[in-house]
Amino acid sequence: MSSENNVFGAMLQEFAGAARLLGLDEGLWKILTHPKRQVTVSCPVVMDNGKVEVFTGYRVQYNITLGPAKGGIRFHPDVTLDEVKALAAWMTWKCAVAGVPFGGGKGGIICDPTKMSQRELEALTRRYIAEIADLIGPDKDVPAPDVNTNAQTMAWVMDTYSMKIGTTCTAVVTGKPIEMGGSEGRREATGRGVMISAREAAAHLGFDIKGATVAVQGFGNVGSVSADLLAKIGAKIVAVTDWRGGVHNPKGLDIPALIEWTAKNKTVAGFPGADALDPSTIFGLDVDVLIPAALENQITEKNADSIKAKVIVEGANGPTTPAAHQSLHKRGVFVVPDILANAGGVTTSYFEWVQDRHGYFWQESEVNERLELKMVEAFNTVLQTALKYKTDMRTAAYIVAINKVATVTKLRGMYA
Ligand code: GLU
């Protein structure tokens, strides 16, 4: 793996740029660049063919200064401890930027869910949670969905934890089905936050999001909901790609129909009423807004210069490498960074956790209104910080986050 693709290294570079501008104390710098706790577990599962497979899982609690660790669980063949550590650090900064009282954590299991049955996925989830059960809990560490996990996965997490402690505990995990303590609006929340970020960025730059052209990389939960909600406020989604293929229509794609197609065909490729698009060409399209909503390391030194978009809204975590970030900044591309743009998910996770703890549930309109307020406030705080420090939005978001966590670290003091 080249150093450009070392994601924890990328996080450290982003951190350093902001910490320098902030004049961060050396001791705090050391504390905030080390994960609090990282755990590796082995999860044996009896597969459908009767054979035993052992899967490796990780849970990293990067920082719990502001509250319980918070962050998703990802299932993917390429999961590494370095990646989970970076994602847990990003959750720490994201929660601080979003203004929710959580620290940062992340989990991952090395597996290929596209090749596993529901029964195998359930067994793997339950064994992984059993292995980390002592470390999680509503006041300790609260998992959520991430790449290739969903509300059903979270239902198994909740049940396994609850069985272990002998009482039903809904607040141990967020992103659950609504019937069992999930929140209205949580499934759509990350995409809703991306839509709000794109809308605010367009307003700041002085163009109308209505009629603006948008390209979306990735059509999972984040990409599909972002596309749908942006189309609903009048943007024109002209291109969508996933890891299997892509589609392009300069007149705008019918997003609800594309969502239906993808549910059946497991890919956007082949969608009628659009031209085929090579996924590797999506970043070079002449669009107003580009939304990377897949995995890390997608916008690199190799393709950053081909980007024509005015605005990039990072739906994914870590889609832009530090080298690409520099080149985009030099060329004046306005980037709404991941730790701000995709913070809608964890913000509504916070709402879900609050509702679970109160045992009192809000209507969808209330959830969405509160999310709107939180996202706009976070966007404006980061924008004002960028203007004050004469820097880009990513560095500004880090400044906001580091400042918050560092201030509370100092107030709490160091426990010997
Ligand atoms: N996995 C999501 C993220 O990366 C949501 C995390 C959460 O809700 O805790 O932000």
322 CB less than 6 Å from ligand 1?
no
- Whether 153 and 215 share a structural domain: no
Domain that includes residue 327, residue range: 187-341
CATH value at residue 239: 3.40.50.720
For ligand 1, say whether the CB of 153 is within 6 Å of any of its atoms: no
* Separation of CA 363 and ligand 1 centre (Å): 21
Tell me the mean pLDDT per 10 residues along the chain, length 416. Answer: 72 98 97 98 98 98 98 98 98 98 98 98 98 98 97 98 98 98 98 98 98 98 98 98 97 98 97 96 98 96 97 97 96 98 98 98 98 98 98 98 98 83
Shared-domain flag, residues 121 and 193: no
- Single out the residue in 110, 142, 169 at which a domain terminates: 169
Report if residue 387 sits inside a domain.
no
How many domains is the chain built from? 2
Cα–ligand 1 centroid distance for 22 (angstroms): 27
Is the domain of 301 the same as that of 335? yes
d(C-alpha 241, C-alpha 281), whole Å: 9
Q: For residue 142, which atom of ligand 1 is closest to its CA?
A: 9
Rounded Cα–Cα distance for residues 242 and 291 (Å) = 12
Residue 206 in tokens: 């002085």
For residue 143 and ligand 1, the question of a CB distance below 6 A is answered with no
Q: What is the pLDDT of residue 414?
A: 81
Interstrand relation of 37-46 and 311-313 (parallel, antiparallel or unpaired): unpaired
> Hey, which residues are catalytic here?
106
Same structural domain for residues 281 and 240? Answer: yes
Atom of ligand 1 nearest to the CA of 349: 8
Last residue of a domain, one of 341, 359, 388: 341
Distance 72 CA to ligand 1 centre (A): 5
Q: Are residues 226 and 269 in the same domain?
A: yes
Query: Is 192 in the same domain as 161?
Result: no
407 is a domain residue: no
Judgement on whether residues 62 and 120 belong to the same structural domain of the protein? yes
Q: Out of 311, 341, 371, pick the residue that ends a domain.
A: 341
Q: Dmax over Cα atoms in the chain, in whole Å?
A: 65
Are residues 131 and 208 both part of a single domain?
no
CB distance 342 to ligand 1 below 6 Å: yes
Ligand 1 centroid to residue 406 C-alpha, Å? 22
**Which of 70, 90, 154, 346 to mutate for ligand 1's pocket (most ligand atoms within 8 Å of CB)?**
346
Angle at 8 between CA 2 and CA 9, to 5 degrees: 55
What pTM was computed for the model? 0.97
Q: Clarify whether residues 64 and 205 are in a common domain.
A: no
In a domain, 414, yes or no: no
Predicted pLDDT of residue 416: 58
| Residue 24: partners with Cβ closer than 8 Å, 6 or more residues away | 32, 402, 406
- Ligand 1, atom 8, lies closest to the CA of 346
Q: Give the helix/strand (H/E) hosting 105.
A: strand 104-110
Task: Assign residue 97 the CATH number of its domain.
Answer: 3.40.50.10860
State if residue 144 touches ligand 1 by the CB under 6 angstroms criterion. Answer: yes
- The pLDDT assigned to 5 comes to 62
Give bridge partners of residue 108 from the DSSP assignment. Answer: 58, 74
Three-state SS for 258? helix
Residue 352 domain-assigned (yes or no): no
Q: Are 107 and 132 in contact (CB under 8 A)?
A: yes
Q: Are residues 244 and 119 in the same domain?
A: no
The radius of gyration of the chain's CA atoms, rounded to the nearest angstrom, is 20
Give a yes or no: residue 32 inside a domain: no
Pocket test for ligand 1, best of 146, 157, 172, 374 (most atoms within 8 A of CB): 146
* 355 within a domain of the structure (yes/no): no
Q: Are 268 and 202 in contact (CB under 8 A)?
A: no
> Is residue 284 situated within a structural domain?
yes
Specify whether 146 is located in the same domain as 259. Answer: no
- Tell me which residue of 306, 105, 103 sits closest to 215, measured CA to CA: 306
- Residues 330 and 230 grouped into a single domain: yes
Any domain includes 126: yes
